[in-house]
Chain A
Amino acid sequence: MLSAVVLILVGCSGGASQPTPSDQQTTSDDLLVTTPEAKGEVDSFTWNLPFGEPTSLDPIKSYYYSENTVLSNVCEGLLRVNPDGSYGRALAESFSRPDPVTWVYKIRSGVRFWDGSPLTADDVVFSLNRHKDPKLGSYYHLPWGSYLREVRKTGPVEVTVKTVQPESVINAMMATGLGTIAKADHIRAKGDAFGTAKGGLMCTGPFKLDRWDSGREISLVRNDDYWDQDHRAHADRVVFKFITDAATLTNALISGQIDGTYEAPVSGVDQLRRASTGKLYLGRSLQAFELYPTGTGPTGNLKVRQAISLAIDRQAIASTVYSGAATPLKSIFVPGPFAYGTDILQKSYDAIPEPKVDLDAARRLVAEAGSPAAPIASVVQAGDAASLQVMNAIADAGRKIGLRFTVRQLPPPDFISIFFDPAARRGIDLVVSPLYFDVPDPLWVFNVGLLPGSVQNFQNYANPRVIKLITDALATDDDSKRAILAAEAMRQVDRDLVTIPIVAPPQRLFMSNRLTGAPAAFPYLYYPWAADIGAPG
């Protein structure tokens, strides 16, 4: 009887584990860029980092959700990415590109670090060069840091960056950890402790890093001397918690113990939609869920990849795994937002036919490919419930067309190393994972994974037409021309089905009713989003 009571209680509380097909769908037109602007101040708010405690806040080691979500509010890059996908000028007042391999940045004057000392061109040069030095192990070193041929101070407030080959994307990457500037003397003084709980930071952002209680919380306080009055913080204090468990986080949000989070748990979407303490906002995102063939096994064959793509019911995955909060993805490249050529790129994406499930055509393709009997060895990241559910849907589709899948779950460090270490990919045919585009620039993906020698080019994809289009695009200054070249290359990559796109999940922001102003769209990783949050009235 006791167990019956227990079961009823669990049922009534709506245990957040079973995804149910939802009638709510979203199209890109429904997705938000921002939430209503904050009008008033708040003393403090508590935010969550669903991917856990940051391992470091040193810009050279900050290249994932938790790290960049905090870092973007305390330290700044030469540029920043605005929620609508445009680039904003941050520590660089302006930039120019006198020739295809040179970028010149005019450093903003009058900016001070938290300790009152002025930001100088020396700090900029020092910070950028840390990504160039292979011994420091910057996560941005391959490829971006290695593209830097020379970084030099060329005037009292001017820094010139020379690249190894023509590179237009590296300018956009100055909004990320690559271009994040900290005080050189502080970095030198702290040594290895820089960016840790003990060594702290010395930066210029709208918040100062106040305290880092290892395992418990990170707290920021407002920088009252922040140079950008348009982005002055509305809150005195921000406290970050590190809840990783989806059910615990959902309960903490519903009960109001945590005021908000990005990447709200997929399994909690239905409960969060019904919550009375706050609201779930869906925003435009640079995230995509895709299948990455490594080149080995049956998925090395284009026809097999085409067959898989025809057999997957993307609409069903969006409904069940994401409770309707996702759209089927037609291309390897997300439909936007982009910083340039938006019309051209959107038109190109719209012209792609909608994906339809066609099991007969899929079976025919499998037969043409020789009906491979070997199983497709797939991996997902352990602990990622959504990935596992998508994998199950794919294995199910495979069964219908005569393809067999095996699945292994890998813990995070093993899983991440697959993307960087060819040895780690041995024995794996397919990687099932969400990914995010750092910057709203379609050429970013080519640098990272679609050109010969790219660090994530698993299959050694080398299409001469694509290479020519992209080389030209990276060298040109004309935004429209670049967009046209990029669009052509993107569609070729789609036809070659280098990866198999599944769905594009929107950004899931949950925010307490006592707050407003947080950007709803994805670029929060490289934008001082916390400064925008305040009281509604």
Chain B
Amino acid sequence: MLSLVVGRLVAMVSTLLVSSFVVFAALYVVPGDPVTYLSGGRAQSPEALAAVRSQYHLDDPLLTRYGRWLGGIARGDLGTSLVYREDVTTLIGPRSLTTVLLVGYASAIIVVFGAGLGVHAALRGGWPGGAISVGTTLLLAVPSFLTAIVLISVFAVQLGWFPVFGSGSGIADRLYHLTLPAVALALAAVGVVGRIARAATGAELQSEHVLTAHARGIPPGQILRRHVLRNAAIPITTVSGLIVASLIAGSAVIERAFALDGLGSYLIDAVSARDFPVVQGICLVLVAVFVCVNTLVDLLYGVLDPRVARGAELT
């Protein structure tokens, strides 16, 4: 198990390093002079533009700038926003909290309801199973923005049960504000995970080892926990891991619809405004989270399936 963990950590760090260079360099490959955007497109005198070029070291070679950027990150300094002239860390810190809560809340809904409904459908069978199946398929088809509009119209405007927009302050208030957004974000994914869970559980129920266990008289509860669910957990974990990682970027649409101060919508705004340091900062955070989530999923496999850990030891 230890060699699995060490191996995965090494892979994680090298992936992060390579991705960070891509994130950094990509913005300088983009056509157009960054200086044009620094002035918000306004007419600027040559002196003003020259001052900006030197302030942001835009004339240094790429690797020097990358090195300086990495050094800054090690100190916790992600640079200064070109648009707001504030530290990037100050700008994305509070927004990260909103996104983390939103994605966490949505992930909890996805895992609990998606896996729960899927497993339930497979165990029940018959028409309840069929109904859940149809339900999850429909959920797959509804785009998140449409869900958001409907939820706001019905639950916020007409019924007044939830706020229309905003992310709130204080944990309880934040969770209250994020309920509709989390549901909107989670709904389609509940459909996906539900279907995978149903299929995986269904396959396990039909497998030889489960039938053998039944034949040998092992209690059904024990079969369910140790043989069915534990094996079905692997494909469910894979899909959930991928979905949670993609939620981070996919939250942008929901953040727009509910006017949340999150990383997704800020990334779009920053790209639109050519605020390079912010785009780099957010991309780095998103890549880091994505890599960490996937590493975590890999390590979870090691726990769920001893063959994976043993396989790592052999290599």
Of all A-B residue pairs in the complex, the 5 with the closest CB atoms, nearest first, are: A417-B41, A13-B153, A134-B45, A215-B261, A416-B41
**CB of B4 closer than 8 Å to a CB of A:** no
Question: Given B86, B90, B164, B266, which contacts A255 in the complex, CB threshold below 8 Å?
Answer: B164
What residues of chain A lie closer than 8 Å to B51, measured between beta carbons? 135, 137
Taking a contact as CB atoms under 8 Å apart, the answer to whether A135 and B153 are in contact is no
A405 CB-CB contact with B under 8 Å? no
- Which of the residues A52, A255, A413, A455 comes within 8 Å of B37, measured between beta carbons? A413
Is B67 on the interface with A (CB-CB < 8 A)? no
Once bound together, how far apart are the Cα atoms of A135 and B54, in whole Å? Answer: 12
Q: In the assembled complex, which residues on chain B have CB atoms less than 8 Å from the CB atom of A213?
A: 94
From residue 403 to 456 of chain A, which have CB atoms closer than 8 A to chain B? 411-421, 424, 455
B52 an interface residue at 8 Å Cβ cutoff? yes
Q: Are B43 and A455 in contact (CB under 8 A)?
A: yes
Interface secondary structure of B, over-half rule: helix
Determine whether B3 belongs to the interface, using a CB cutoff of 8 Å to chain A: no
Q: Is the CB of B84 within 8 A of A2?
A: no
Contact of A15 with B by CB under 8 A:
yes
A243 touches B165 (CB 8 A): yes
CB-based contact A142/B153 at 8 Å: no
Give the Cβ gap from B253 to chain A, nearest Cβ, in Å: 10
The 8 Å CB contact of B86, one of A6, A196, A411, is A196
By the criterion CB–CB under 8 Å, are A413 and B135 in contact? no
Q: Is B235 an interface residue (CB 8 A)?
A: no
Q: Which of A87-143 contact B (CB under 8 A)?
A: 134-137, 139, 141-142
**Assembled-state Cα–Cα distance A493/B193 (Å):** 64
Bound-state Cα–Cα, A15 to B153, Å: 8
Additional 11 contacts, C-beta under 8 A, given A13-B158, A417-B36: A137-B42, A137-B51, A141-B43, A214-B261, A215-B91, A215-B266, A244-B259, A247-B149, A251-B164, A415-B41, A420-B41
Complex-state Cα separation, A258 to B37, whole angstroms? 32
Contacts of A10 in B (CB 8 A): 146, 149-150, 153
A197 is an interface residue with CB less than 8 A from chain B: yes
Q: Verify B273–A412 contact, CB threshold 8 A.
A: yes
Interface string of A455-473 (1 = CB under 8 A from B): 1000000000000000000
Residues from chain B with Cβ under 8 Å of A214 in the complex: 84, 86, 90-91, 94, 261
A216 touches B165 (CB 8 A): no
A241's partner among B52, B95, B257, B259 (CB-CB below 8 A) is B259
**Smallest Cβ-Cβ distance to A420: which chain B residue:** B43
Chain B residues within 8 Å of A418, by CB: 41
Verify A55–B164 contact, CB threshold 8 A.
no
- The interface residues of chain A lying within 8 Å CB-to-CB of B157 are 13, 251, 254-255
CB of A198 within 8 A of CB of B86, answer: yes
B83 contact set on A, CB distance < 8 A: 55
* Contact A245:B257 (CB < 8 A) given known A3-B138, A214-B94, A417-B36: yes
B154 touches A248 (CB 8 A): no
- Which residues of chain A have a CB within 8 Å of any CB of chain B? 2-3, 6, 9-10, 12-13, 15, 52, 55-56, 61, 63, 134-137, 139, 141-142, 192-193, 196-198, 213-216, 241-245, 247-248, 251-252, 254-255, 257, 382, 411-421, 424, 455
Q: Which residues of B contact A382 (CB under 8 A)?
A: 272
Q: Which B residue sits closest to A141, measured CB to CB?
A: B45
B174 CB to closest chain A CB (Å) equals: 12
The A-contacting residues of B in range 242-298, CB under 8 angstroms, are 256-259, 261, 266, 269, 272-274
Contact B142 A56 (CB under 8 A): no
Residue B167 CB within 8 A of the other chain: yes
**Which A residues lie within 8 Å of B40 (CB)?**
55, 61, 139, 413, 416
Could you tell me the distance in whole angstroms from the C-beta of A176 to the nearest C-beta in chain B? 14
Which residues of chain A are near B84, meaning CB under 8 Å? Answer: 55-56, 196-197, 214
* B39 on the A face (CB < 8 A): yes
Is the beta-carbon distance between B272 and A257 smaller than 8 angstroms? no
Q: Can you name the residue of chain A whose Cβ is closest to the Cβ of B45?
A: A134
Distance A213 CA – B84 CA, assembled complex (angstroms) = 12
Contact with A along B129-173 (1 / 0, CB 8 A): 000000100100110001001101110111010011111000000
Residues of B within 8 A of A412 (CB): 41, 272-273
CB distance from A424 to the nearest CB of B (A): 8
Q: Give min CB distance, A30 to chain B, whole Å.
A: 29
Q: Which residue of chain A lies nearest to B271 when distances are taken between CB atoms in the complex?
A: A411
Determine the distance from Cα of A244 to Cα of B266 in the docked complex, in whole angstroms: 12
Which chain B positions have C-beta within 8 A of A197? 84, 86, 90
| Chain B CB within 10 Å, residue with most, of A136, A243, A413 | A413
Residues of chain B with a CB closer than 8 A to A9's CB: 150, 153-154
B30 at the binding interface (Cβ < 8 Å) = no
B90-127 CB contacts (< 8 Å) to partner A: 90-91, 94-95
